[in-house]
């Protein structure tokens, strides 16, 4: 399985059989200057209906869109959507959010979208075992670095990939990735946008992998 960070909360996840999943595709503008997503996909997940996460209509390849809570099977991949919130006020400030869990090539993935709060015991139980965790770390709109560390400890993934943080192409009032990395012993800075992971040969637990945006 290959993971490529396109930018923000958008990742391209490619299976050995060539199935391509893109998470939370963004629209360019309003503080985001990442390039337009031109990678075709078979499946797109959308965690919530904000412009920087819901641009499924412009992803090439006529992908099937997975959104909302519950189970959905697409092209042999079982997606579980777990409801949560974009804030600490049960959605009163920024609305709902959906966590997506699915497996590609027997690697269990959890994408938290714009999670805005610590997970409940029930949510942790629903998520279950996690190999790769995509987690927002920039704060303000989502959990911040400190809370992201707590959520990571709740889920105990083998690999943690931070997302939704300030970069040269994201001018949101959020922090960069360094605050999340501070004090962590297991940090791999790839220097690139891609990483390949194989079930049974995963690092960790708790290995943080820092990617560079592709676009």
* CATH number of the domain to which 120 belongs: 3.60.15.10
The structure tokens 């269990």 sit at 108
Query: Do the beta carbons of residue 190 and residue 211 sit within 8 Å?
Result: yes
Confidence of residue 121 (pLDDT cuts 50, 70, 90): very high
d(CA 103, CA 185): 27
**Domain annotation covers residue 215:** no
d(CA 41, CA 59): 7
Q: Which two tokens stand for residue 32?
A: 């985001």
Q: Which two tokens stand for residue 74?
A: 């697409």
Question: Smallest Cα–Cα separation from 11: which of 80, 102, 83, 93?
Answer: 102
* Mean of pLDDT over the chain: 98
Q: What is the pLDDT of residues 55-99, one digit of tens each?
A: 999 999 999 999 999 999 999 999 999 999 999 999 999 999 999
pLDDT (average), residues 24-41 = 96
**Domain annotation covers residue 96:** yes
As a whole-number percent, the residues of the chain with pLDDT over 90 amount to 99
Q: Look at residue 204 in the predicted model and tell me its pLDDT.
A: 82
Pairing of strands 96-104, 77-85: antiparallel
| Number of domains present in the structure of the chain | 1
Q: Look up the domain containing 112 and give its range.
A: 2-210
Q: What is the pLDDT of residues 144-188, one digit of tens each?
A: 999 999 999 999 999 999 999 999 999 999 999 999 999 999 999
**Domain annotation covers residue 179:** yes
Q: Is the torsion defined by CA of 53, 113, 82, 131 positive or negative?
A: positive
Q: What's the maximum distance between 2 C-alpha atoms anywhere in the chain?
A: 43
Q: Look at residue 197 in the predicted model and tell me its pLDDT.
A: 98
**Domain annotation covers residue 110:** yes
Q: Which two tokens stand for residue 164?
A: 């939704």
**Domain annotation covers residue 86:** yes
Q: Look at residue 79 in the predicted model and tell me its pLDDT.
A: 99
Q: What is the pTM of this model?
A: 0.97
> What single-letter DSSP state applies at residue 179?
H
DSSP lists the bridge partners of residue 212 as none
d(CA 96, CA 61): 28
**Domain annotation covers residue 58:** yes
DSSP secondary structure of 53-96: T--GGGSTT-PEEEESSEEEEETTEEEEEEEEESSSSTTTTT-E
Q: Hey, what's the torsion of the CAs at 176, 177, 182, 187, to 10 degrees?
A: -160
Confidence of residue 42 (pLDDT cuts 50, 70, 90): very high
Q: Indicate whether 135 pLDDT > 90.
A: yes
Q: Which two tokens stand for residue 34?
A: 């990442």
């Amino acid at each position: 399985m290959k993971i490529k960070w396109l930018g923000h909360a958008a990742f391209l996840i490619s299976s050995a059989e060539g199935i391509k999943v893109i998470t939370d595709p963004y629209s360019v503008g309003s503080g985001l200057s990442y390039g337009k997503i031109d990678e075709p996909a078979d499946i797109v997940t959308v965690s919530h209906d904000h412009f920087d996460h819901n641009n499924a209509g412009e992803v090439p390849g006529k992908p099937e869109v997975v959104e909302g809570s519950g189970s959905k099977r697409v092209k042999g991949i079982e997606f579980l959507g777990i409801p949560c919130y974009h804030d600490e006020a049960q959605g009163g400030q920024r609305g709902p959010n959906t966590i997506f869990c699915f497996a590609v090539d027997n690697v269990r993935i959890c994408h938290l979208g714009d999670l805005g709060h610590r997970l409940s015991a029930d949510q942790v139980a629903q998520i279950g075992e996690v190999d790769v965790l995509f987690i927002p770390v920039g704060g303000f709109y989502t959990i911040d670095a400190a809370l992201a560390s707590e959520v990571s400890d709740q889920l105990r993934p083998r690999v943690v990939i931070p997302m939704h943080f300030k970069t040269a192409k994201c001018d949101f009032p959020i922090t960069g990735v360094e605050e999340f990395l501070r004090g962590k012993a297991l940090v791999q800075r790839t220097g690139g946008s891609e990483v390949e992971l194989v079930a049974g040969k995963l690092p960790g637990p708790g290995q943080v992998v820092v990617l560079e945006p592709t676009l």
